[in-house]
C-alpha cells in the first residue's frame, strides 16, 4: 500500500532502501548457507504476512482455477 503523501523522491528512496535490505538478507542467507528454496520460501512468507488477506485471496483464486480445470475436463460436476 502506498502513502499518498509521499513524493516521488521519497518513493525512490524507499525502493533503494528496500533493495539494500533484500541484498543484506540474501548475503546473510549465503553466509548461513541457507538454500535458495528456503530463502525464497521465507521471503514469500514475509511478503504475504505483510499483506493481510493476500495469501487467502491467492489460495481462493488457485482453488477456483483448479475447480474450473476439473470442470472443463468433466471430472467435476457443475452445480
Interval 32-43: pLDDT, tens: 999 999 999 999
Q: Which residues contact 2 (CB under 8 A, 6 or more apart)?
A: 11
pLDDT in tens, 13-22: 889 999 999 9
Identify the helix (H) or strand (E) that includes residue 31.
helix 8-31
**Rounded (10°) CA dihedral 40, 41, 42, 44:** 80
* Secondary structure in 3-state letters for 58-70: HHHHHHHHHHHHH
pLDDT (mean) for 42-51: 92
Output phi, psi for 60, to 5 deg: -65, -45
Taking 70 as the threshold, does the pLDDT of residue 1 lie above it? no
Amino acid at each position: 500500500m502506498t502513502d499518498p503523501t509521499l513524493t516521488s523522491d521519497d518513493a525512490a528512496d524507499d525502493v533503494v532502501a528496500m533493495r539494500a535490505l533484500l541484498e543484506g538478507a540474501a548475503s546473510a542467507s549465503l553466509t548461513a548457507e541457507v538454500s535458495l528454496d528456503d530463502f525464497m520460501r521465507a521471503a514469500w512468507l514475509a511478503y504475504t504476512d505483510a499483506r493481510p488477506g493476500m495469501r487467502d485471496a491467492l489460495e481462493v483464486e488457485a482453488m477456483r482455477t483448479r475447480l474450473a480445470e476439473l470442470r472443463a475436463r468433466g471430472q467435476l460436476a457443475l452445480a
